């Protein structure tokens, strides 16, 4: 049915309850967050999420890798349009 993507994370951060398995739902479409990660070449040193010092291990670079393999290159204009559509729905 759904394909699970497992990664072996070896980090000292909090390990989520998924044991490194990335949800299928998050790798079906490019999101604004995934696009931003892609645009900085998944460089965690300059990522605003890393700078916020969250207690969890960001998996976005793995998500970007999966998206590139399954969805191809991101379409920036479509991603931002989809985000605007969601914001419009919330306001309405």
- Residue pair 10/50 in contact (Cβ under 8 Å)? The answer is no
Q: For residue 15, what are the contacts with CB-CB under 8 A and spacing of at least 6?
A: 9, 57
Question: Taking the model in full, what pTM does it have?
Answer: 0.65
**pLDDT given at position 44:** 87
CA distance 79 to 25: 16
User: Does 90 score more than 70 pLDDT?
Assistant: no
CA distance 81 to 51: 27
Which of the pair, 58 or 68, is modelled with greater confidence? 68
22: part of which helix (H) or strand (E)?
A: strand 21-22
pLDDT digits (tens, 9 = 90+) for 5-58: 555 544 444 445 556 677 787 888 999 999 999 999 999 889 887 777 776 778
């Amino acid at each position: 049915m759904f394909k699970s993507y497992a990664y072996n994370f070896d980090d000292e951060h909090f390990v989520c309850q998924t044991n490194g398995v990335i949800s299928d739902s998050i790798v079906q479409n490019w999101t604004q967050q995934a696009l931003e990660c892609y645009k900085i070449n998944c460089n965690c040193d300059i990522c605003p999420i890393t700078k916020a010092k969250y207690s969890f291990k960001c998996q976005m670079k793995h998500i970007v890798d999966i998206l590139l393999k399954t969805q191809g290159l991101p379409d920036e204009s479509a991603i931002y349009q989809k985000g605007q559509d969601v914001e419009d729905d919330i306001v309405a």
